[in-house]
Amino acid sequence: MALSRTAARTIWRRAFSPVRPVRALEAEPWIIDELTVGSREIAVRGWALPPIRPAPGAAFLVNDNRPASIEYPLPRPDVGHAFWRRDRSGDSGFRLVARPVGEPYPGGILRVSRPRASPASPEAGRDHWCYPDPARHADLPDENRRFRVIGNRDATGFLSTGCTDHFRLDRACRALFGHGLAQGGRVLDWGVGCGRIARHLLAADPDADLVGCDIDRDNVEWCAGHLPGGRFVPSDLRPPLPFPDGHFQVVYGGRFTHLRAPLEALWLEELRRVLSPGGIALVTVHGATALEFMALAPDQWLTMRDRIDDEGLVESSPNSQLVGFVPNPEEYVNVFHSRRHITRSWRRHFDIVRILPGYVFTHDLVVVRRR
């Protein structure tokens, strides 16, 4: 029996080519596991790759101020197990204690930073996690609606990831195009869900011209009734969107993480249609960082990496979060993209401006511009 190209490559690499260290283009993940906010103390616990030895005083900031105490690096065997390719990943833990200078949520947002990139670079957005003042977000979707968007029912995670993603998208937009996410013109939140990111865009810029669409009509109805300032409309799994040609100047969204190749091609064409000439899209994909977060054993990781390299777009698993709420939920799956697939296939529709690994949590951010 003849071996497939992927199988042959994997066997050769296992025999002759050991797993190499992380390439420089890959992200440096860091996660906050726990944040406790009091009137006199803010405590933060998490992990950050790669660890800094010795930890300088400005390794972390809370609201742009140095914490009163930093413990870093600390043992994190769970991270070492998951990120076995990363040097000293098992010693990546940290604990911070900060004393609030003024309000703990200045301007409504508490920000924990690990400065790595130049503040003016697109990569700098990845250096921040943001936590909105929960008192300003009392009106949240229920836990089942949240689950369909983020895969869990945690209200704090729903707020913090939405706020962080908005912050990072806005930073990338400013660094690459000189304006914020909502200042470039009419904005489409493609896959708005129950407003995880949209609520923070509208809070930051109440005059934003924001339209959100989603295949989950129940969540779209929730947004329409609870997020004033935006307009929210249902859409279908397949194009077209209910908008005229060139209607938007900015699109952001994460649905390409869930579309097989035929649907991806249709949606690339459709996003180009609804964008005006020169319009931009900031969309996420599963890439090298997401593969690391799967915590696969070396053999499994090599096999999956080779499949992605060879095939370009690989379906990794089904996604059942939307079962019962959308037609044909079996079409909504989890997929991985190679950088080569994006640069070759997406270039037919857009200019590729930047690919930022691990920029939106485990996802890579792809920034494109319509010609």
Residues 105, 152: contact at Cβ < 8 Å?
no
Instruction: Supply the pLDDT for residue 55.
Output: 61
- Residue reference for tokens 């990363």: 86
Q: Using DSSP bridges, classify how beta strands 128-132 and 231-234 pair: parallel, antiparallel or unpaired.
A: unpaired
What integer pLDDT is reported at residue 327 of this predicted model? Answer: 84
> Can you say how many angstroms the Cα of residue 298 is from the centroid of all Cα atoms in its chain?
25
- Estimate the crossing angle of helix 5-16 against helix 298-311, to 10 degrees: 140
What's the whole-number mean pLDDT along residues 25-32? 86
Reported confidence tier of residue 18, pLDDT bands at 50, 70, 90: low
If one compares 56 and 201, the residue with the highest pLDDT of the two is 201
Residues 219, 148: Cα–Cα separation, whole Å = 9
Name residue 132's beta-bridge partners. Answer: 109
Quote the tokens at residue 188.
């489409």
Type and span of the H or E element at 355? strand 351-360
In degrees rounded to 5, what are phi and psi of residue 194? -105, 35
Give the tokens for residue 91. Answer: 């010693």
DSSP string for 64-132: TB--SEEEEEE--HHHHHHTTTSTTGGG-EEEEEE--SS-SSGGGEEEEE---S-TTSGGGGGGEEEEE
> Region 168-185: what's the mean pLDDT?
96
Would you place residue 21 in the very low, low, confident or very high pLDDT band (cuts 50, 70, 90)?
A: low
Per-residue pLDDT reduced to its tens digit, 227-237: 999 999 999 99
Backbone torsions φ then ψ of 195, nearest 5 degrees: 80, 30
Beta bridge partners of 284: 365
Q: Any idea which of 171-175, 228-232, 318-322 has the lowest mean pLDDT?
A: 318-322
Q: Which residue has the tokens 């400005």?
A: 58
pLDDT band at 16 (very low <50, low <70, confident <90, very high): very low
Most confident of 17-31, 177-191, 314-328: 177-191
pLDDT at 54: 60
Query: Which region among 58-72, 159-173, 200-214 has the lowest average model confidence (pLDDT)?
Result: 58-72
The reported pLDDT for the residue numbered 348 is 93
Q: Are 93 and 76 in contact (CB under 8 A)?
A: yes
Q: Is pLDDT of 248 > 90?
A: yes
Question: Mean pLDDT across the stretch 94-111?
Answer: 95
Q: Which of the pair, 316 or 3, is modelled with greater confidence?
A: 316
pLDDT exceeds 80 at position 52 = no
Rounded CA gap, 242 and 235, in Å?
7
Query: Is-contact 331 315, C-beta < 8 A?
Result: no
Q: What is the pLDDT of residues 251-297, one digit of tens each?
A: 999 899 999 999 999 999 999 999 999 999 999 999 999 999 999 99
Tokens read off for 317: 């698993």
* Interval 164-176 mean pLDDT: 98
- How does the average pLDDT of the chain come out, rounded? 92
CB atoms under 10 Å from CB of 18, counted, come to 8
The yes-or-no verdict on residue 15 having pLDDT over 70 is no
Backbone angles phi, psi at 236, to 5 degrees: -110, 165
The answer to whether 159 touches 132, Cβ cutoff 8 Å, is yes
3-class secondary structure, 300 = helix
Q: Which CATH architecture has domain 135-369?
A: 3-Layer(aba) Sandwich (3.40)
Buried b or exposed e, range 348-370, using 16+ CB within 10 angstroms: ebbeebebbbbbbbbbbbbbbbb
How many other C-beta atoms are found inside a 10 Å radius of the C-beta of residue 207?
9
Model-wide pTM > 0.85: yes
Closest Cα partner for 69 from 101, 44, 36, 34? Answer: 44
pLDDT interval class at 303 (50, 70, 90): very high
Share of the chain above pLDDT 70, in %: 92
Rg (CA), the chain: 21
Domain residue ranges in the chain: 30-116, 135-369
Banded pLDDT at 1 (limits 50, 70, 90): very low
Q: Are 313 and 336 in contact (CB under 8 A)?
A: yes
Question: Is-contact 252 278, C-beta < 8 A?
Answer: no
pLDDT of residue 27: 87
The whole-number pLDDT of residue 361 equals 92
Token digits for 13? 């690499």
Residue 322, pLDDT score:
87
Give the residue-averaged pLDDT of 126-140. 96
Whole-angstrom distance, CA of residue 28 vs CA of residue 47? 11
In what helix (H) or strand (E) does residue 313 lie, and over which residues does it extend? strand 313-318
Q: Give per-residue pLDDT as tens, 70-94.
A: 999 999 999 999 999 998 999 999 9
Place of tokens 């697939």: 341
Q: Please name which of 345, 294, 283 lies closest in space to residue 317, comparing C-alpha atoms.
A: 294
